Amino acid sequence: MIFLNMAIWLPILAGVVLLAIGRDENAPTVRWLALAAAVASFLVTIPLITGFDNAKVGMQFETRLTWIERFNATYHLGVDGISVWFVLLTAFITVIVVIAGWEVITKRVNQYMGAFLILSGLMIGVFAAVDGLLFYTFFEATLIPMYIIIGVWGGPNRIYASFKFFLYTLLGSLLMLVAIVYLYIQSQGSFDIPTWHALKLSMEAQTLLFFAFLAAFSVKVPMWPVHTWLPDAHVEAPTGGSVVLAAIMLKLGAYGFLRFSLPIAPDASHHWAWLIIALSLIAVVYIGLVALVQTDMKKLVAYSSIAHMGFCTLGFFIFNSLGMQGAIVQMISHGFVSGAMFLCIGVLYDRVHSRDIAAYGGVVNTMPMFASFAVLFAMANCGLPGTAGFVGEWMVILATTGFNFWVAALAATALVFGAAYTLWMVKRVYFGPVTKGSVSRLKDINAREFFMLALLAIAVLAMGLYPKPFTDVMQVSVDELLKHVAQSKLL
Amino acid sequence: MNQLNWLIVYPEIFLLLMTSVVALVGVNASESRLNLTFWIAEVSLGILALMHLNLLQSGATVYGMQRMVVADPLGHLLALAAAIATMITLGFARPYLKSRDLLKGEFLSLAMFSLLGISVMVSANNFLVVYVGLELMSLSLYALTALRRDHAVSTEAAMKYFVLGALASGFLLYGLSMMYGATGTLDIPYVFDAIHKGTAAPQVLTFGLVFIVAGLAFKLGLAPFHMWVPDVYQGAPTAVTLLISGAPKLAAFGITFRILVEGLSGLATDWQEMLIVLSVVSMSLGNLAAIAQSNLKRLLAYSAIAQLGFMLLGFTPTVINLSTANAVNGYSSALFYLITYVLTTLGTFGLVMYLSRHGFESEEISDLAGLGKRAPWIAGVMSLFMFSLAGIPPLVGFYAKFAVLQALVSTGIKGYIILAVIAVLLSLIGAYYYLRIVKTMFFDEPVDASPIRGDTGTTVLLALNGLAALGFGLMPDGLMSACRDAVLKAFST
């Protein structure tokens, strides 16, 4: 269907055009064009959700064209209840990112905006691909713009961070490539993901495939112990880069579990579920503790992202409908909340040029409007009921209790730690008396910043107060997925 | 069958004629006559490419010159690619050579002679024809390497190239003579028959095979026969490096296919093991050594060793469980890999020449610093090449690597799957140094911030080259099926 194709290619083409016309002299034009392109790209995704048939099993809005005849690879796009929200989320976050970079980015504006638009199209491609090779193409291609974004507009240690990001994720993906080739051969020359879902495989093959996919997706999510690239990348990336990284790129990994690991290797998934659950719990508990001792705000939010993504992987591998829906809701809400947290840090950083918690104190006195937004997002980050952060975590914990009480008890400690590190940071940064000169000179947010934070605040509250539209859309697809996972596919 | 059939080789005859014309017109030429010579050369290469394209599309296989040569789709595809590569090379080389007073008639005519050698090699049906073509190409290239004759490094490179090259040719010739001794014939199809009948002495065959593989490995620049590659790449004038790194690789593929596959496939179980060792050693050595380089040309030389090692993997699944079902898949993947690699590498060296000015060679990686600011478009095109060589989709290098990996895994044998995993991990190491070039261009501050004014023709050529790397990546189907058809026809006859 035309809208899904446009959601991918409109931002990519706009990005290429921006790269072509760019000089720093016409930066204002570039900014408006980028905004227009981002908004247009978001608008074309809206028909995907309004026209979505909640009761239908399988892909919707499909496009299927021959792509590489020799490999029988097709240009096959489509969305189901799991992926459709991520298409919207990606396009939405791109609009926010363009607004966030408006005044902040002054050098090579066209390349900055172009890179984000291209990245947005590629990520939507990942969520929309129904062909394995096409999925891999989009999945890997996202590395190129992100590498450039971190390397060109990043902080002082950006080169190290960009290399670590690229090579770490490339290593994981290459093992997945071997798995994809293996599946292609096993299915007698097909790259169709639904065909792979129906493929019978021996336990040995399933185990190897499971671990090959785990290598790719666990790095991307990231799961403990392969998470170390994330704090580096976040700290060095420009604000927009951090937002996209946390809000969407991490979801590419979690989404991969749903599309590949679980339905293709269900028996291995059941067999190794304990491992994933253990790693998720370590992420939730241990990384939560690590977050507590951070002195750098961006690092703190980066570690909190890892802990939150631990909930997602936990929710996937307890194999019930509530847990999985909760995990997907958590993915979406984390997209809004972590994006907003990074934007708040960006707002402060633009003014004071420090990410150190110790450099602040009493911001609420000089920036009351900004502080109220920041506190709202912080509350959502610790999972306060009524905000988006609560819904997913609560669903996952509830489902886990039915699975195993002690696992649920451990997972629930995350709420405690989450509240601890978030609120402690809020106390040190926003409350208390103003002691630093730099803080006393702060000016409150302008209309542009107000607008972008307000958009996110609306999203966070809407999702927290009325999550039903989100879960309704994914219900049928999640049940279908679980039905697949419940069936043994052993030879 | 035994007639001379001159007309079969009409593209080669045309090329020979035009080369002679170029040689004559270009002698002691003035500036304007040199321009004329250049355009004669380019236009004749263009016509040659069209001839091969036309023959390729007809898809026929015919023998000529008393079965000494074969005109089949594989030969035409390789010759077509070589002609285009030489055309691009001359286009990139012209402004570079001009500013160094090296643009003489010799360069053009020698380049065309080397192309003639390549065309002969890729359509050879007889060991002697292979050898004659090889020598024609090699001697032209030796002379070209020494083109800057008052330059010590350049002369040293030429000496090294010549001595080692002659040694390798000797190896190859010695191996071929063993084959002659064992089978009593030099015609490739008869050698094939004799081996299959089992009348030839196996010890002699294996002995000869070792020499042939060593000779071929030298020509392809594979480790451990790679010693000449970095020195020649670095020492030769960049225009000549470009020539060496392009079309001759296609020729080396051609003769590897003609000798090993068409002639000696009866010994495939022996040679495919040798090739596995060669390719793993090449990929490891090339990728690891490239990390330590600060000279861009040297880095690209090591990268070439690694890339050709990867390409060679496509030859390894020839005989699996006594069946050749996987062979065509592997060869056509290797051919696709090689053609796209040559395309990419032409662009990279073209860029090195674009950046160098009169008296300044721009060979160090650090010379690229800040290129993203000074010439964003050129830097963008260069990063397309780098990402392609690193094998990142949607660039063509990824689909090439993918095709080869797919050929390995489709054997279903554990050893080949492990080989695929090794290849993948080694190319991860490779990604590091390609990324480092992108980093130097975009993340580092320029030493000299003045904008770069390069030759317009080169800019256009670079842009087209970059688009091809992207275009073949987005739509690899046409070239892939051309490779497959060509290999299939050559393999089945």
Q: At what angle do helices B228-235 and B238-245 cross, to 10 degrees?
A: 140
Residues of A in contact with B435 (CB under 8 A): 147, 163, 166-167
Predicted pLDDT at A136: 92
Cα separation, A123 vs A138, in Å, equals: 7
Task: Express as a percent the part of chain B with pLDDT over 70.
Answer: 98
- pLDDT for residue B2 is more than 80: no
Residues of B in contact with A151 (CB under 8 A): 439, 442-443
Residues of A in contact with B376 (CB under 8 A): 19, 22, 111
pLDDT in tens, B95-123: 888 888 777 888 899 999 999 999 999 98
**Cα torsion angle, A280, A285, A290, A295, sign:** positive
Whether the upstream peptide bond of residue B446 has omega within 30° of 0, thus cis, is no
Predicted pLDDT at B452: 73
Question: Could you say which of B376, B425, B439 has the minimum Cβ distance to residue A159?
Answer: B439
Q: Is A13 on the interface with B (CB under 8 A)?
A: no
Q: Please work out, in degrees rounded to the nearest 5, the angle formed at the alpha carbon of residue A273 by the alpha carbons of A271 and A279.
A: 140
Cα separation, A438 vs A315, in Å, equals: 43
Cα separation, B423 vs B405, in Å, equals: 8
Nearest CA in chain A to B442: A152
Cα separation, B305 vs B230, in Å, equals: 9
Which among A8, A12, A68 is the top mutation candidate for probing chain B, defined by the most B β-carbons within 10 Å of its own β-carbon?
A: A68
Q: Are B90 and B110 in contact (CB under 8 A)?
A: no
Cα separation, B386 vs A73, in Å, equals: 25
Predicted pLDDT at B493: 64
Answer yes or no: do B432 and A163 touch at CB < 8 A: yes
Model pTM?
A: 0.89
The secondary structure element, H or E, covering residue A73 is: strand A73-79
Q: Is A190 on the interface with B (CB under 8 A)?
A: no
Predicted pLDDT at B70: 86
Which residues does residue B167 pair with via DSSP β-bridges, in sequence order? Answer: none
Residues of B in contact with A147 (CB under 8 A): 435, 438
Residue A240 CA: distances (Å) to CA of A112, A346, B16, B396 = 9, 9, 60, 30
pLDDT in tens, A321-340: 888 888 898 889 888 899 89
Task: Express as a percent the part of chain B with pLDDT over 90.
Answer: 29
Q: Alpha helix (H) ranges present in B184-316?
A: 188-197, 202-220, 228-235, 238-245, 247-256, 268-291, 296-312
Give backbone dihedrals phi and psi of B276, rounded to 5 degrees, phi first: -60, -45
pLDDT in tens, A419-447: 888 888 888 888 888 887 777 777 888 88
Cα separation, B30 vs A314, in Å, equals: 77
Answer yes or no: do B405 and A162 touch at CB < 8 A: no
Q: Is A352 on the interface with B (CB under 8 A)?
A: no
Give backbone dihedrals phi and psi of B486, rounded to 5 degrees, phi first: -60, -45
To the nearest whole Å, the CA of B81 is away from the closest chain A CA by 21
Predicted pLDDT at A5: 85
Model ipTM value? 0.86
Q: Is A174 on the interface with B (CB under 8 A)?
A: yes
- pLDDT for residue B43 is more than 90: yes
Q: Is A481 on the interface with B (CB under 8 A)?
A: no
- pLDDT for residue B150 is more than 90: no
Question: Could you say which of B412, B424, B484 has the minimum Cβ distance to residue A177?
Answer: B424
- In the numeric block, the tokens 């989009």 are attached to A138
DSSP string, A206-267: HHHHHHHHHHHHHHHTTPTTS-THHHHHHHHS-HHHHHHIIIIIHHHHHHHIIIIIHHHSHH
Answer yes or no: do B409 and A174 touch at CB < 8 A: no
Answer yes or no: do A162 and B480 touch at CB < 8 A: no
Q: How far apart are the first and last CA of chain B?
A: 15
Residues of B in contact with A181 (CB under 8 A): 402, 405-406, 409-410, 420
What is the maximum span of chain A, computed from C-alpha positions, in angstroms? 70
A466 Cβ contact partners less than 8 Å away, ≥ 6 residues apart: none
Helix (H, G, I), strand (E, B) or coil at B323: strand
Query: How many angstroms from the chain centroid is the CA of residue A165?
Result: 15
Question: Could you say which of A68, A171, A181 has the minimum Cβ distance to residue B476?
Answer: A68
Q: Are B385 and A165 in contact (CB under 8 A)?
A: no
DSSP B155: H
Q: Is A19 on the interface with B (CB under 8 A)?
A: yes
The count of other CB atoms within 10 Å of the CB of residue B2 is 8
Give backbone dihedrals phi and psi of B364, rounded to 5 degrees, phi first: -80, 150
Answer yes or no: do B443 and A136 touch at CB < 8 A: no
Residue type, B159: M
Q: Are B229 and B305 in contact (CB under 8 A)?
A: yes
Predicted pLDDT at B80: 92
Question: How much is the mean pLDDT over chain A?
Answer: 86
B493 Cβ contact partners less than 8 Å away, ≥ 6 residues apart: B61, B72
B359: confidence class by pLDDT, cuts 50, 70, 90: low
Cα separation, B50 vs B14, in Å, equals: 12
- pLDDT for residue B3 is more than 70: no
Q: Is A69 on the interface with B (CB under 8 A)?
A: yes
- pLDDT for residue A81 is more than 80: yes
The secondary structure element, H or E, covering residue A68 is: strand A60-68
Answer yes or no: do B477 and A67 touch at CB < 8 A: yes
Cα separation, B84 vs A314, in Å, equals: 56
Question: What is the token pair recorded at B232?
Answer: 């020649």
**Cα torsion angle, B18, B19, B20, B25, sign:** positive
- pLDDT for residue B1 is more than 60: no
Predicted pLDDT at B358: 61
Q: Is B487 on the interface with A (CB under 8 A)?
A: no
Q: Are B477 and B396 in contact (CB under 8 A)?
A: no
CA atoms within 13 A on the CB side of A273: 18
pLDDT in tens, A198-224: 888 888 888 988 998 998 899 888 888
* Mean predicted confidence (pLDDT) in B395-419: 87
Question: How much is the mean pLDDT over chain B?
Answer: 87
pLDDT in tens, B430-463: 888 898 888 888 888 877 767 777 778 888 888 8
How long is chain B? Answer: 493
How many Cβ pairs within 8 Å bridge chains A and B? 90
A105-A106-A112-A116 Cα dihedral, nearest 10 degrees: 30
Strands B62-64 and A73-79: what pairing? unpaired
Give backbone dihedrals phi and psi of B437, rounded to 5 degrees, phi first: -70, -45
DSSP string, B30-69: -HHHHHHHHHHHHHHHHHHHHHHHHHHHHT--EEETTTTE
To the nearest whole Å, the CA of A162 is away from the closest chain B CA by 9
Predicted pLDDT at B285: 92
Q: Is B446 on the interface with A (CB under 8 A)?
A: no
* Mean predicted confidence (pLDDT) in B373-385: 85
pLDDT in tens, A219-269: 888 888 888 888 888 888 888 888 888 888 888 989 999 888 888 888 888
Answer yes or no: do A141 and B428 touch at CB < 8 A: no
Nearest CA in chain B to A136: B393
Residues of A in contact with B476 (CB under 8 A): 68
Q: Which of B:383-442 have CB within 8 Å of A?
A: 387, 392-394, 398-399, 402-403, 405-406, 409-410, 412, 417, 420-421, 424-425, 427-428, 431-432, 435, 438-439, 442
Residues of B in contact with A140 (CB under 8 A): 392-393, 398
